[in-house]
Amino acid sequence: MSNINLNDQVVWITGASSGIGRALAQVCAVQGAQVILSARREDELKAVLQDLPAPERHDYVVMDVTNEQQVVDAYQQILQRKGKVDWLINNAGISQRALISETSMQTERKIMEIDYFAQVCLTKIVLPKMLAQGHGQIVFVSSVAGLIGTQYRATYSAAKAAIHMWANSLRAEVADQGIGVAVIFPGFVQTNVSFNALNGAGQPQAHQDEAIEQGLDVDTFAKAAIRAVMSGQEYIVIGGAKEKLGVAMSRIAPQWLYKMIRKSKVK
């Protein structure tokens, strides 16, 4: 498939104040896109905006992705300023580090609200106009955890798997209407995701995981991710050898994978 041109395309990225979202914004801007950054923290968004090449070409809107009215208002602001959204990158999310037996139902619901329902809601808000304009690209940042459930990440894995399946259905429904749907499955990437990961009580664990520290450089990840989407890929796994092996084994020898996970010391 021929490459998708990002020049002057309006790309809306959620969770853009740090980590993967920030890195994706940088790559899209370099590719010539007009980037719209969204997150809850305005000061961080301003800092990300100023770091982008030609910052005057880009913009930000502050919103909480779990607040539907804020999301609707943010979208209206973007339409007023830019007139359209060509790409939507659903990147906002939160991880988990807690055993099932220690995770409250409130925390279970909070993770699903951020990692699944918020992505569904935002996509449904943007989709009608995207269909009307006859083109668009919707991207979901899932996780290898959504393909391989492990200890301490049950709800996170479930939410990331759920958005993957929802995206598959969306792709089938809009494929003949000019809309592309891609799902990215990051392995371990060097970000603050584990600092912010929720414990069973719903509080950030506030420390880094060893696996994250040894993970893929976030800028290297972002370049690979955007390159894959631009080349028309729809199922995009980006990670180290262990993660890629795990994904492969989940397809061809799931029982072997389950045994390996039980013996692993993930945390």
- 96: CB partners within 8 A, 6+ apart: 103, 107, 111, 152, 153, 154, 155, 156, 197, 198
- Average pLDDT over the chain reads 93
Residue-wise pLDDT for 161-175, tens only, equals: 999 999 999 999 999
CA distance 164 to 7: 28
152 is catalytic: no
- The single-letter DSSP state of residue 215 is S
User: Which range has the worst mean pLDDT, 33-37, 41-45, 193-197, 254-258?
Assistant: 193-197
How many CB atoms sit inside 10 A of residue 249's CB?
A: 17
The pLDDT value given to residue 43: 97
Give the global pTM: 0.93
Q: Which residue in 75, 156, 235, 258 is the catalytic one?
A: 156
Instruction: Kindly tell me if the per-residue pLDDT of 54 is higher than 70.
Output: yes
Q: Would you say residue 234 has pLDDT above 70? A: yes
pLDDT of residue 107: 97
Domain residue spans of the chain = 10-241
With tokens 């939507």, the residue in question is 88
Cross-sheet strand order for the sheet of 34-39: 59-62, 34-39, 10-14, 87-90, 136-141, 179-186, 235-238
- Per-residue pLDDT band for 257 (boundaries 50, 70, 90) equals confident
d(CA 70, CA 64): 7
Residues 145/196, Cβ–Cβ less than 8 Å: no
Structure tokens, 22: 């920030």
Give the homologous superfamily in CATH for domain 10-241.
NAD(P)-binding Rossmann-like Domain (3.40.50.720)
β-pair type (87-90, 34-39): unpaired
- According to DSSP, the residues that pair with 60 across neighbouring strands are 37
pLDDT single digits (tens) 88-119: 999 999 999 999 999 999 999 999 999 999 99
Cα separation, 185 vs 236, whole angstroms: 6
Q: Please, what is the Cα angle at 85 between 79 and 88, to 5 degrees?
A: 130
| Conformational region of residue 54, where left means phi above 0, alpha means psi within -120 to 50, and beta covers everything else | left
CA distance 186 to 184: 6
